[in-house]
Amino acid sequence: MTALSRTATLARDLVRFPSVNWGAGRSDGEAEAAGYVEAVLQRMGLKTRLFESAPGRVSVLTRVEGRTREPALVLHGHTDVVPADAAGWSVDPFAGEVRDGLLWGRGAVDMKDMDAMMLASLEDILGSGRQPARDLVVAFFADEEAGGVLGSHWIVDRHPELFAGAAEAISEVGGYSVDLAGRRAYLLQTGEKALVWAKLTARGPAAHGSRLIRDNAVTTLAEAVARIGRKDWPIRLTDTTRALVDELGRILGIDPKAAGEDAVVLASGTASGFILATLRTTTNPTVLEAGYKHNVIPDTATALIDIRTLPGEEEAVLAELRELVGPDIEIETVHADVGLENPFEGPLVEKVIALLGEHDPGAPVLPYLMSGGTDNKALSKLGITGYGFAPLRLPADLNFPAMFHGVDERVPLASLDFGTEVLTDLLLTY
């Protein structure tokens, strides 16, 4: 076997920490992953600070001095991953296996790949006696996979001074390539949908399972869940999605007005996995809970709904849901966070486009709105404009969108090295 590059080694080591975030405040091993990252940063001569928001929920931050007096850039990643059920995987999700030129494992895509690229770029720059152009605030957050309550939000709320002088941020879920009918293009994430995690509760009489009960809580809840899950939210384009759909239409030779926006997006191949949900609101039921015995009708039934609205539409969507489920269902917001939409222009965007043009000539860069959320939401509270830019040149046949929180997460080693080179150039020249 050929030796792994530095980026691949760092990514593999990080995948081997089962830093699983189970949600509801529970996680394993973020502290160990943060400890590993801290040691790597300290070996570069950087002063690190650890923040433990709750036992074991550790984030690590450092600051790197730049050559210029331009506003600082925040470079951030998260060390936690979502759970992985090994039964569905071709490999042990936490073994950090390298097979066929790819690194396999939970976090290989989301987002220990970028964590490793960040570390390797900094090693490259500082190890050769150079300095980044701007001051960098480098953060590895805990708890991103549960909304950042014990990670980015906790730190931004308690230690805003750590981000003093920072205007922009870059992080995950953007900057990777997609194949558009045989043509490679890059998606730069310039915005994120808003999220509302809602809990529905239905109540009724507790009773023997043999009785005639018309207002059974499970039945009431099931009807509401079905209505929400089946709701077909209309397409509504924002500045970002309009620009993206128009550009996709131009590249693919399809007129969005004639064919419809969904048809243009579907023709984009695997990229549609990232894009379809960004043209409208989505309301997905994700968890159901009721009952404890086959012959007992329970007095309550609950469901969790993952709602992702377009930026600014949270209240309107909740009002529509209340209408949809009727007065017998209580709707409670468990967690909510803002949507973001940043311009696809300005010096950082221009620099990103120029760098991708140098490293992969001829591949266009398109803006996109992300259906999920990142720690950029927390940073936006400090007025920091965050983009998703974890650059990866990927093979055309790799279904990258499907691997976020999916099975058999894997990233090509060559893509990691490409990303480190682009990121290094960005930090040196922006």
Query: Given the rule CB under 5 A, which residues bind Zn ion?
Result: 110-111, 172
In the complex, the smallest distance separating the C-beta of residue 131 from Zn ion, rounded to whole angstroms, is 28
φ/ψ of 194, rounded to 5, equals -80, 160
In the complex, the smallest distance separating the C-beta of residue 36 from Zn ion, rounded to whole angstroms, is 18
- DSSP alpha helices (H): ranges in 256-342? 256-259, 261-266, 272-275, 314-325
d(CA 269, CA 370): 17
Which is nearer to Zn ion, 78 or 134 (by Cβ)? Answer: 78
Element (H, E) at 9: helix 6-15
In the complex, the smallest distance separating the C-beta of residue 390 from Zn ion, rounded to whole angstroms, is 9
Query: In the structure encoding, which two tokens stand for residue 169, read together?
Result: 């941020």
SS3 96: coil
Which is nearer to Zn ion, 256 or 273 (by Cβ)? Answer: 273
Which is nearer to Zn ion, 172 or 192 (by Cβ)? Answer: 172
Which is nearer to Zn ion, 173 or 290 (by Cβ)? Answer: 173
Residue carrying structure tokens 């331009």 = 70
In the complex, the smallest distance separating the C-beta of residue 145 from Zn ion, rounded to whole angstroms, is 7
Which is nearer to Zn ion, 189 or 281 (by Cβ)? Answer: 189
Closest CA to 368 of 274, 280, 305: 274
- For the chain, the straight-line distance linking the first and the last C-alpha, in angstroms and rounded, comes to 37
Closest CA to 105 of 336, 355, 385, 409: 409
Which is nearer to Zn ion, 108 or 310 (by Cβ)? Answer: 108
Give the HSE-up count for residue 218: Cα atoms under 13 Å, Cβ half-sphere.
Answer: 14
Query: In the structure encoding, which two tokens stand for residue 86, read together?
Result: 């090994």
Chain Cα centroid distance, residue 172: 6
- Under a CB-based contact definition with an 8 Å cutoff, are residues 184 and 396 in contact? yes
In the complex, the smallest distance separating the C-beta of residue 22 from Zn ion, rounded to whole angstroms, is 15
Extract the runs of DSSP E, i.e. beta strands, from 127-248: 136-141, 166-171, 176-180, 183-192, 194-203, 207-208
In the complex, the smallest distance separating the C-beta of residue 401 from Zn ion, rounded to whole angstroms, is 13
In the complex, the smallest distance separating the C-beta of residue 253 from Zn ion, rounded to whole angstroms, is 34
Which is nearer to Zn ion, 113 or 172 (by Cβ)? Answer: 172
User: For the chain, what's the residue count?
Assistant: 430
Which is nearer to Zn ion, 233 or 404 (by Cβ)? Answer: 404
In the complex, the smallest distance separating the C-beta of residue 304 from Zn ion, rounded to whole angstroms, is 20
Which is nearer to Zn ion, 256 or 372 (by Cβ)? Answer: 372
Residue carrying structure tokens 């998703």 = 388
* Number of CB atoms found within 10 A of residue 164's CB: 11
Residue carrying structure tokens 């159901």 = 288
d(CA 2, CA 389): 29
Q: Are strands 48-52 and 58-64 parallel, antiparallel or unpaired?
A: antiparallel
In the complex, the smallest distance separating the C-beta of residue 20 from Zn ion, rounded to whole angstroms, is 13
Taking CB atoms, the residue at the shortest distance from Zn ion is 110
In the complex, the smallest distance separating the C-beta of residue 83 from Zn ion, rounded to whole angstroms, is 14
Which is nearer to Zn ion, 111 or 228 (by Cβ)? Answer: 111
